[in-house]
Structure 1
Amino acid sequence: MRYLISLVIAGIVTFFLFLGMQALIQGGEGAMTDPVKGQVLDFVRLKQEETVQKKERKPQKPPTPKEPPPPMESPQTQSNNLDAAGGNFDFSADVSADVELAGGLALESSDGEYLPIVKVQPVYPRRALSRGIEGYVIVEFVVTKNGTVRDPKVVQAEPEAIFDRAALDAALKFKYKPRVVNGEPVEVAGVQNKISFQISG
C-alpha cells in the first residue's frame, strides 16, 4: 500500500516538473527572438599623434690651436752633481775648445772640419770635492771617422792624478762631426781638450 502511494506522488511531482520545464523553454525562445533594446556603442580609443621634435646639432668649432712652443735647443754638455760626505757642493767643469796639434790649428782647407756635437762634463771626484781641491786636465785623443773619441790620454794635469780618470771618462763620451776630405770622413789625431774642475758657491 505504501509503495502504491509513493508511486502516485512521484508521478504527480514528475508531471508538474515537465510542465515547469515546458514553460521555461517557451519563455527562453521568446527572449531570444525579441529585438535588442537600446543602442550598442563601440568605443575605440585612438592615440594622439605624437610630434617628434628633431634637434639639429651644429658641429662645434674646434678650439683654436695654441702656438707651439719654440723648439728647445739640445744641450751641448751634461753635468753630474755629487754630494760630498757631510755637505753639499756645487762645482763646474769647463770644457775648452779643441786644438789639433798635429797640423797646428785646424784651419786646413777641406770639405769640412770636425766639429764638436756633444761634450759631457766630467764627474767631480768625491775625494777632491770633499777636500775642496780644484784643478784642470788637458786630454789628447783621436776623433775617428764616426765622430767618436779614441785613445784618450792625459797630457797635463794640475794637480796630478786627481782628476785624470774623470777627465778620460768624460772625453770618451764626446761626440764630433768628423772631418770630411774629398767627400770622405777622415780621422783627426792630436786633438786636445782642457777640462777645468772648479768648485763654485
Structure 2
Amino acid sequence: MRWGLALLIALLVNFGLLKLMQSMVTPDHQRGNTQLSKALPIDFVRLPPEEPPPPAEEPPSEAEEPTPELPRPMPAAAAAKNPQIELPSWQAPNLALPLDVGNGPYLGGFATPPPPPLPAEPVPLVRIPPRYPRRALLRRSEGHVVVQFTIDPDGGVSDPKVVEAEPKGFFEQAALRAIRGWKFQPQLENGVAVARSATQTIRFSLKK
C-alpha cells in the first residue's frame, strides 16, 4: 500500500516536471498564437464609398451696368460770352529828384589821385661822431644842432647848413664838420640813384 502511494506521487511529480520543461522549451510566438487563437473573433464592417461632393455653383454673373450717357456739348451759339475784366487805372509815381547839389564847382567824374608816398628816412651807412667843442666842455654845456644837406647819388653829403642850434654859438661848426664825413644809402628811382635832400639832428651830451 505504501509502495503504491509512493509510486503514484512519483508519477505526478514527474508529469508536472515534464509539463514545466515543455512550457520552458516552447517558443513565445507559438504561445502567443495559442492565446490569439483563443481570442474572440472580430467582424470587419465595410463602409460604403463616399460620394464625391457636388460641384460648386458658379456665382451669377453680375449684370453689366449701363454706360452713363455723356452730356452733349452745348452749341457754340449757346456758350457764354467771354467776360470783360476792367483793370484798375495805374499811374507811375513821380521819381523826379532835385538836381541842385549846391553852388560848389563841378569836379567831374575823376577821383582825386592819392598823394605821392613820402620818401623814406635816409639810412646812414657811415656815421662819424662829432668832436665836443672845448668851450662847451669847460662850461658843461649840452645841446643839439639840426643840419640840412644833400645826399649825392654816390651817398656822400654836400651843401650842409645849420637850420637850428640850441644853444647857439657852441656846436654848429662841430656838427657841420662831422656831417660832411657821413655816408648814406642813395635813393633809387626806376633803378637809378638820384640826389635827395635830407635833415639830420646831431645831439651833444656829456656822460654822467
Query: TM-score, structure 1 length as denominator?
Result: 0.44
Structure having greater relative contact order (Cα 8 Å, sep ≥ 6): 1
Mark the structure with the bigger radius of gyration: 2
Query: TM-score, structure 2 length as denominator?
Result: 0.42
